Structure 1
Amino acid sequence: MAAEIIAFPEPDRGDRLVSSIARLEAVLRDVERVGADDPGASLDQLLAAMEHMSDQLVDLACLLLDEDAKLQAQSAFRSLSDKIAETRDTFDQLGGRSYT
């Protein structure tokens, strides 16, 4: 019996792009839903949405940008992530009170 070699298709960059955009759109829908359901939504929910959105934007940047621009985008989003963490820490120090 001869063995058959199964060739798996290489992941298509276009498929990854479509998938990444779909995930970003899902995050945006979540943000819109939070805003519509509860305009005074907790800060934590909005910060989590920002983190998810920045993750998706980094994915898109890696697909679309050249190496230098990718590094700049990653640096910018790392800075954003640090600022989100600082905001959470400050919010926690204030006792998690909502000022909306």
Structure 2
Amino acid sequence: MHCFTSGRALAETALSLGFYLSISGIATFRSAGDLRAIFADAPLDRILVETDSPYLAPQPHRGKRNEPAFVADTARFAAAIWDLEPEDFAARTSANFDRLFARAAA
């Protein structure tokens, strides 16, 4: 689900239907604790990371025009949600992307 910012009930329903949840820069905002808790409870094999450029720049770029390079900031922040090294998180979410889009292309 693109730029997921909804509540726990929708996340659980979406995941039960086979959807993936995508983390954007919003998850890095100080006020997004509830959203981070939802992601923390989601299975890591159903997580993607996105920029949503040119909107929703992550910390420390909040308030600026978002750009694709900032996805690394979001990914580093998100890795901590699952207590992973950024490289491990990147590898896992890249594998998720490959799996999802291989299914979409089939």
Same fold (TM over 0.5): no
Q: Normalized against structure 2, the TM-score is what?
A: 0.34
> More strand by proportion, 1 or 2?
2
The structure having more radius of gyration, on CA atoms, is 1
Q: Normalized against structure 1, the TM-score is what?
A: 0.36
